[in-house]
Structure 1
Amino acid sequence: MVVGKVRALAVCFDTLNDSNAPVFSGGELVSGRVLVDVAGDVRVRSLAVTARGVAKVRWTESRNAAASTAYTQNYTEEVEYLHHRDVLIGSAEERDEEDAAADEGGVTILHAGLHELAFSFQLPQMALATSFEGKHGSVRYWVKAELRRPWMLPVKVKKEFVVFEHIDINTPLLLAPQAGSKEKTLCCWLCASGPISLSAKVARKGYTPGDSIQIFAEVENCSTRVVVPKAALYQTQTFFAKGKGKEIRQLVSNLRGEALAQGKSQSWEGRVLKIPPVSPSILDCPIIRVEYALVVYVDVPGGLNLSLSLPLVIGTIPLHNATSRTSSISISSSGSASTWAGVAERPEGGPLSGAGSVSVTLKRGKSPTIHRWMRIPEMLFAHESERANIFGGKRLTRTSLDALKHECVHMGGAKSTNDQFQRTTSRLF
């Protein structure tokens, strides 16, 4: 009797996306087929598929117990997100039995040719960790098919699929602007130079791969050194095991400004930093975290840099159409208007030019709220070119900004009109 041969064993997924890649999310149905190509008749005891999803971390550290004694400490941890097993050929009683005996009963004959056996399972309705490959850990999902035959070694094949835990950046938290400011004074023994000041702002906290981050920043150099403003997007991978953490920081993209001599200043009016294809943020996995931060900093030769870190979240669901928002703030100049929707996102065009006026535009004729009024000064302060044009070239200092804030709070509480706001800005400037 001629014994048949298994020529190939493969796993194929049924995918419906445009890229034809096996990509799924929590709660979705995963389906596919196991392909078995045999030459001649093959006696099969069982064919089972097992789906697994595991987050795993591992790293080692060297320790010194005494002056002449050293050892290696291993740190490992594992979290299981998925474990599903199904038998495609064979009885239910043989699901977990080892093929220890070649019993004539319970054997299925596969005749020569290609055989397709369908499988399906549903991903858990829970927050699954996004697929990820890092230096000290990973999150992987896969399906393994195992074909067992009497008196022969099993044939196995494994194929991975991708899981995305979706992050929608259209939530209020991720649409909120991120801003900050810092100042430092350089010292050399008993002599101190003037301060270096830095302020930076981005339109929102949430972005997706391929987006462009528009950076608005101001740097003023009153020190005696030549400094350079820069910006960089960093990814931080943090791995946890046995109560200890291991952190890896990687540069994603960066940009460089012009060198600043003593007494000079520089403004970034929407300098663009593009986000390359990167892994989304992982925030809910107990042993692996992937976080992002935009670091705007001043490179100080021979000294510590002045650095400002703005935390960001890289999501999977991109920004919706800005026209769906309910209100807008616009700065109009010489009859033209440039609209900032919701969180004051700057359009692609250049800065406004010519003498202009500040106006607040609200839909349905509603009066500005206190919150809206209080946001106007900060937005004006963040845009050097616009405020210079709006206020006839006069500089909007922090002192005048605080005064304008106070007036805006008063007007917001009194449901003031745009004309009242115009009169206030004219009086203050």
Structure 2
Amino acid sequence: MGKLDLLEINFTNNQEVFYGGQLVQGHVTVQLNAEIKMRRLEEKGDDHVLQPGNYSYPFSFQLPNQLPSSYESSVGRVRYTVTAVIDRPWKFDHKCKRTITFIDAVDLNLEPTAAQGVTQQGEKTMCCLCCKSGPIRAVLKLDRLGYVPGENIRIHGEINNHSRRKMTSSFAELRMTVDYHTPSKTRTQKNSVSKICKGPIQAGGDDIWNGDALGVPPLPPSNLRGCKIIDIKYTVTLNVDPAGPAFDLVVPIKIIIGTIPLRSVAQQYGVPGPMPSSIYLSDHPNIPVKLIMPEVSMSLPPVEYVNVSPSNMSNNQDIPPPAYVESYFGKVDVHDDDDNEHTRGNMEYAPVYAYYNWNEHNTNTFLNVAPKK
């Protein structure tokens, strides 16, 4: 351990989830068991000597209004890190870092198509040896296009199997498609993040989807606004899987995942009226501190409920604040190339996203449990 017993970053009220324009504030704690020569914490300057003891250095800075949401994957990422460095002359530096989550407040009430319903249909003709059989037809209907994590997408649809072949199953699926752009090419990554299945459909038979619930797990919002090299899209599909060698019939509808739900949806669940103004943070004077801004680079486990303080996530005071739940894709290792054995802090991190469960609420809070994978 040497002369340094503790180098730690702590945030006020243990808050680690932030929105545009908010203050990030807290203190850096240093505990020494012997004197140590060092430069300033924030920038190089004259040499200083700290005697043994405990030291606390407060910090506060304001985030810009427009930043992309935190996002982690094996291909690319948007990561926000607060770092404290003890810069020592002619010796290795001591460093501690904490990764925080930034959420871009995507308000579905401001999205023109979020409340609209859509119907899509598809057809596929099967071949049986040398003869064609009748077609398979499928219709998918969604009563709206905008959702937030924690909600259920109600699947309405109909499948008509006019072929002479049995359909092994049908299933509804929420798909996440991420495009990673470079100046020369684009790489696409696809994930199935939620799925519900039904049984076989006999030749000549039909099947009805009557509002079956497809859950939305904790996910980043659509498009990843503010990031020019990563684009996130979500699609709900109704799939029909034929028996034997044949491609599925797939009927897709593109949807929007936001962070602030539709008021009309909140009202359906009897959500209470305006929330108390105490959920908004008061102003504090700014104290300069080193901030590592979003790092975007081109380069999955159970999710857990995360308890954080409420924040001024929106101006929609008639909509209660969400819970925050670890990303569906779980934790990642946040070691960077310039980290070494002297870097302190929790190196396992998962972004957390706004999460609603309309079925469990009272007049003040929402208690949410992430969908099981």
Smaller-chain TM-score bracket: 0.5 to 0.7
Verify: 1:30 aligned to 2:30, yes or no: no
Q: CA deviation at 1:160?
A: 0.9
Q: CA deviation at 1:176?
A: 1.4
Structure whose alpha-carbon radius of gyration is higher: 1
What is the match of residue 422 of structure 1? Answer: none
Q: CA deviation at 1:324?
A: 6.0
Change (3 A) 1:115 1:231: same
Verify: 1:44 aligned to 2:38, yes or no: yes
Verify: 1:162 aligned to 2:162, yes or no: no
Verify: 1:273 aligned to 2:214, yes or no: yes
Equivalent residue letter for 1:268? W
Give SS of 1:47's match. coil
Q: CA deviation at 1:254?
A: 1.1
Equivalent residue letter for 2:6? A
Equivalent residue letter for 2:49? I
What is the match of residue 413 of structure 1? Answer: none
Equivalent residue letter for 1:42? I
What is the match of residue 222 of structure 1? Answer: 162
Q: CA deviation at 1:162?
A: 0.8
- Aligned residue runs from structure 1 range 108-147, under 5 A: 108-126=48-66, 128-147=67-86
What is the match of residue 152 of structure 2? Answer: 212
Q: Which is richer in helix?
A: 1
Q: CA deviation at 1:188?
A: 4.0
**TM-score normalized with structure 1 length:** 0.57
Which of 293, 313, 318 is matched with 2:261 structurally? 318
Give SS of 2:109's match. coil
Distance 2:254 2:236 in 1: 6
Distance 2:128 2:264 in 1: 52
- Aligned residue runs from structure 1 range 277-316, under 5 A: 277-284=218-225, 285-301=227-243, 302-316=245-259
Gaps of 5+ in 1: 49-86, 95-105, 326-429
Equivalent residue letter for 2:159? V
Contact 1:147 1:154 in 2 (8 A): yes
What is the match of residue 75 of structure 1? Answer: none
- Aligned residue runs from structure 1 range 349-428, under 5 A: none
Distance 2:68 2:88 in 1: 36
Percent of pairs identical after alignment? 35
Give SS of 2:263's match. coil
Gaps of 5+ in 2: 269-373
What whole-Å deviation, never above 9, does each CA across 1:247-290 have from its counterpart, x for those lacking one?
11111121122322222212111011112223333432211122
Contact 1:129 1:282 in 2 (8 A): no
Give SS of 2:113's match. helix
Distance 1:324 1:188 in 2: 51
Distance 2:136 2:165 in 1: 10
Q: CA deviation at 1:155?
A: 1.4
Contact 2:238 2:252 in 1 (8 A): yes
Higher RCO structure, 1 or 2 (CA under 8 Å, sep 6+): 2
**TM-score normalized with structure 2 length:** 0.66
Equivalent residue letter for 2:76? G
Equivalent residue letter for 1:23? V
Q: Structure 1 residue runs of 4+, over 6 Å off?
A: none
What is the match of residue 9 of structure 1? Answer: 7
Distance 2:264 2:54 in 1: 49
Distance 1:179 1:187 in 2: 27
Contact 1:169 1:206 in 2 (8 A): yes
Give SS of 1:223's match. coil
What whole-Å deviation, never above 9, does each CA across 1:83-133 have from its counterpart, x for those lacking one?
xxxx5xx7xxx3xxxxxxxxxxx333323211111112211232x111111
Aligned length, in residue pairs: 263
Change (3 A) 1:157 1:115: same
Equivalent residue letter for 1:298? V
Change (3 A) 1:273 1:132: same
